[in-house]
Amino acid sequence: MAELSPMMKQYFEIKEKNKDSILFFRLGDFYEMFFDDAKLASRELDLTLTGRDCGQKERAPMCGVPFHSCESYIARLVQKGYKVAICEQTEDPAKAKGLVKRDIIRVITPGTVIESGMLDEGKNNFISSAFMANKKIGLSFCDISTGELFITEISGEDLQDQLQDQLISYNPREILIGGEIVNFKTLPNFIKEKLSASVEMLTDDEFGYSICLDAMKNQFKENDVNSIKDKKEMVSSVGALLSYLKVTQITGYERINTFEVYNENQYMNLDYNTRRNLELTRTMMNKEKKGSLIWLLDKTKTAMGKRLLRYWLEHPLLNIGTILNRQSAIADLVDDTVQRLEITESLIGIFDIERLMTKIVYGNANARELRSLCGAFENLPQIKNLISKFDSSLMRKLTEDIDPLEDIHQLIDTAIEEEPPFSVREGGLIKEGYNEELDAVRSDMNNSTSLLAQIELEQKEKTGIPKLKVGYNRVFGYYIEVTNSYKDKVPEEYIRKQTLTNCERYITQELKDLEGRILGAKDRSFGMEYAIFDEIRKVVANNLDRIEKTAKAIATLDVLTSLANVASDNNYTRPEVNQSSKIILKDSRHPVVEALLSGAPFVPNDVTLDNDSNRVAIITGPNMAGKSTYMRQVALIVLMAQMGSFVPASYAEIGVVDSIFTRVGASDDLASGQSTFMVEMNEVANIVKKATKNSLLILDEIGRGTSTYDGMSIARAVLEFVADKKKLGAKALFATHYHELTVMENLLDGVKNYNIAVKKRGDDITFLRRIIPGGADDSYGIEVAKLAGLPDWIIKRAKEILKELTSGKTDDKETFANISPHSSEDDMQLNLLDTASNAVTDKLKSVDVNTLTPIEAMNLLYELNNMI
């Protein structure tokens, strides 16, 4: 067998160490993939598969992507869950002796993306690490593009459920798991179906306590590490994550210089179904942002603010103090419109400082990005000044945290060109006047350039060739070009280098000497520029703590301003948030439906819920009356209040709830083999298992997915469980079409009936959208069906059947069986037909048709026709 070429040998050595990644092997201006990687990439990225001679009989399958547009290709692979190992030349090809050295500079995995083009600017890109031992789970979430790291410990009952709820609230793209977590048999399916994240199994050694503790010590301040070092599972989770980042990122992960330990009881619990049902970040129907709560609330001006707003929305608080702090800051902004609008304006154009800093710390930010950072700092002094006038404690803290960073701004501004090129190795980065030495080298370079022009002139005169010019190419540098018609005038000392169709190119000793000076000056100047640029980049990186603190403050201010703008534009009110267990709302509205309604205005409604005589509200009323809207608006208002936001109501008192659970709408999960009813019952089971008396439950038409009697029985049993203080005793809104359930008001403590009023005139109904005490008198299903355009025949027939069913003569089943399968109209027509056909038969019996004359036959036919 023939020997592999040296380059392919090098390829195989590198590939051997990165078997589970697609290897992007840098060759010139391309990243090439070979063998199975090439086949996979060609399939996934629609690339043409070619072959490369590799010293063997068979050519190596190969495909490539251009270096300059590689991001979009990598993004597509990473989004599909693949890892991409980037292999670069690690020495200057010009200085290499033999084959250029190459090595992996970074492995990009779904959870370790930092490239802005591959990230959603308004969403964190988390990688998570979960390790379980001793019935405890250590869990961490890290966004390496911003340097944020959140860690927690989960203990107690239902660890898998708790873990899933935590994973849902951070939505990581990649999850490292190990220890006893492998026993959670349904977890992989959950991760695949609900999170679409990729999973990496790590070994117990990788989660080993002492290795992990060392990894933490290398990364964080001693005091920080000491504060959690007894939480072994937590240490294992963070340590294994750091080691994974070290292996994949190789450099730059030092950006993660601190962490935040959170307690899962710090935040309201929202499970997967509730997040989906309340349409927090996208709608259920179209999976679109428009129509979701975030769409309404997000008026942020910066990417940092966008991400933080999303975080607040996905993590409503339980701590009243923190909620009140946010509220007071929003109140400051709501009350001072002029100031608020000025702040809003000064936030516009502030770049993503958090993600820029990551690139700077990684050492791969270019001069343009440094300029963007400088631009982001421009308004800081003004913003600090604007908010210093406010009184609330959060505003005071933000004023303190915002560092105007004038020194860094000035450093970048005086050093870096306004519009530098993307490349940092080809000059044009540093402003004239910033560095004397650089200016001197540059002037040498420029003088040399004018010397070239002088040479051209001199040679023209000396040789008498008018069409002579000095040019440059990459192959043999500076040359003199003479058109063919003057070839005979070329002096002897010219050395011919190239012949083209119309001209010849020459070099001279004088030109080569000058070239040495020019290129030397150019190289030196570019080298100096890069060194100065890199130094500035390092200075900025060394100020990470100051810059990061400012970025966080700007993000917080942006979120507060966004919420204040929404509150002011939509006439929201500041809710009174307390521990009262009450939810009292006056004139409350559904924030999103209200914003989307174009015709008639939204009809506001009141709400009274508490843990006493108003625990459960049974809501009846016709279809389309607004039951679901009403229930969701209560849940959304509670959630908004616990985010710290103002709410759409004229008055609101919110006793904090520990969780919101919802069971709404019909959905099936055919992929996991579950019918609509199974999904519904699973969700109900989950709610009754996890809810506490401090939870808020939204139960919309429980039991509708099965037969009437079974459904009604289940609905009543759930209602009894929820309402009964000895069992659950939680606050709940319970919408149902089973009017029979309204009797529960008399049978159970704490249950109240409400209905959404409609006005009926003849066959037509008008929706009033007002919630009023008492059960609904009728369900008006048929009237709504008529509104929906069901044909008259079906409507009439349905009314007939309903009349029989509600006549109350016998039990429903018997009555239903006794109803004729024809409508009364059908029966009438059948009777008529019967009579006519009898008359015709009688008539025909009375005549002998064989003896009729043609005229008599015609008359008979005429007579028969009239009978029918």
Ligand X SMILES: Nc1ncnc2c1ncn2[C@@H]1O[C@H](COP(=O)(O)OP(=O)(O)OP(=O)(O)O)[C@@H](O)[C@H]1O
- Chain residues that interact with ligand X, rule: CB under 6 A: 593, 602-603, 621, 623-629, 769
624 or 681: CB nearest ligand X: 624
243 or 628: CB nearest ligand X: 628
Known binding residue 72? Answer is: no
At 709, give phi and psi (nearest 5°): -70, -40
Q: How far is the CB of 626 from ligand X (least distance, A)?
A: 3
The two beta strands, 127-133 and 50-52, are: unpaired
78 or 607: CB nearest ligand X: 607
Instruction: Output the six-digit token pair for 666.
Output: 């019909």
477 or 665: CB nearest ligand X: 665
Q: How far is the CB of 727 from ligand X (least distance, A)?
A: 27
634 or 691: CB nearest ligand X: 634
11 or 602: CB nearest ligand X: 602
Q: How far is the CB of 566 from ligand X (least distance, A)?
A: 19
CB 482 within 8 A of CB 468: yes
Residues pairing with 477 in the sheet: 473
Known binding residue 237? Answer is: no
CA angle, 284 as apex, 283 and 289 as ends, to 5°?
A: 20
Known binding residue 5? Answer is: no
CA distance 733 to 700: 8
235 or 618: CB nearest ligand X: 618
Q: How far is the CB of 588 from ligand X (least distance, A)?
A: 9
Q: How far is the CB of 686 from ligand X (least distance, A)?
A: 22
Known binding residue 93? Answer is: no
Q: How far is the CB of 627 from ligand X (least distance, A)?
A: 4
At 14, give phi and psi (nearest 5°): -70, -40
623 or 706: CB nearest ligand X: 623
Q: How far is the CB of 295 from ligand X (least distance, A)?
A: 16
CB 568 within 8 A of CB 331: no
CA distance 562 to 393: 19
> What are the CA-CA distances from residue 70 to residues 64, 93, 226, 422 (Å)?
9, 21, 42, 15
Residue written as token pair 């020997």: 3
Residue type, 268: M
Q: How far is the CB of 135 from ligand X (least distance, A)?
A: 42
CA distance 193 to 141: 20
Q: How far is the CB of 628 from ligand X (least distance, A)?
A: 3
CA 317 to chain centre: 21
3-state helix, strand, coil in the chain (%, to 5): 50, 20, 30
519 or 595: CB nearest ligand X: 595
Q: Can you spell out the DSSP letters for 613-661?
A: TTSEEEEE--TTSSHHHHHHHHHHHHHHHHHT--BSSSEEEEE--SEEE
Per-residue H/E/C for 338-373: HHHHHHHHHHCCCCCHHHHHHHHHHCCCCHHHHHHH
Q: How far is the CB of 291 from ligand X (least distance, A)?
A: 11
70 or 735: CB nearest ligand X: 735
Could you say which DSSP state residue 221 is in?
Answer: -
Residue written as token pair 């179209």: 286
Helical segments of 724-867, H only: 744-747, 781-787, 792-805, 812-818, 824-845, 854-867
Instruction: Output the six-digit token pair for 478.
Output: 């500076």
Known binding residue 640? Answer is: no
75 or 798: CB nearest ligand X: 798
- Where residue 645 falls (left for φ over 0; alpha for ψ -120 to 50; beta otherwise) is beta
267 or 602: CB nearest ligand X: 602
Q: How far is the CB of 603 from ligand X (least distance, A)?
A: 4
Q: How far is the CB of 321 from ligand X (least distance, A)?
A: 34
Residue type, 85: A
Could you say which DSSP state residue 674 is in?
Answer: B
CB 502 within 8 A of CB 483: yes
402 or 617: CB nearest ligand X: 617
Residues 488/489/495/498 CA torsion (nearest 10 deg)? -60
CA angle, 120 as apex, 118 and 125 as ends, to 5°?
A: 85
Q: How far is the CB of 601 from ligand X (least distance, A)?
A: 7
Q: How far is the CB of 631 from ligand X (least distance, A)?
A: 8
Known binding residue 433? Answer is: no
Known binding residue 623? Answer is: yes
Q: Beginning with the edge strand found earlier in the chain, give each strand of the sheet holding 198-201 in spatial order.
A: 198-201, 174-179, 127-133, 136-143, 148-154, 260-261
Angle between helices 708-723 and 676-690 (to 10 degrees): 10
Instruction: Output the six-digit token pair for 443.
Output: 């002037």
CA distance 192 to 189: 5
719 or 733: CB nearest ligand X: 733
539 or 768: CB nearest ligand X: 768
Residues 322/326/328/332 CA torsion (nearest 10 deg)? 160
Q: Which residue is nearest to ligand X (CB)?
A: 626
Known binding residue 628? Answer is: yes
In sequence order, what E strands does 688-826 have? 696-700, 731-735, 751-761, 764-773
Q: How far is the CB of 760 from ligand X (least distance, A)?
A: 16
Residues that constitute the known binding site for ATP: 621-628
Pick out the residues of the known binding site: 621-628
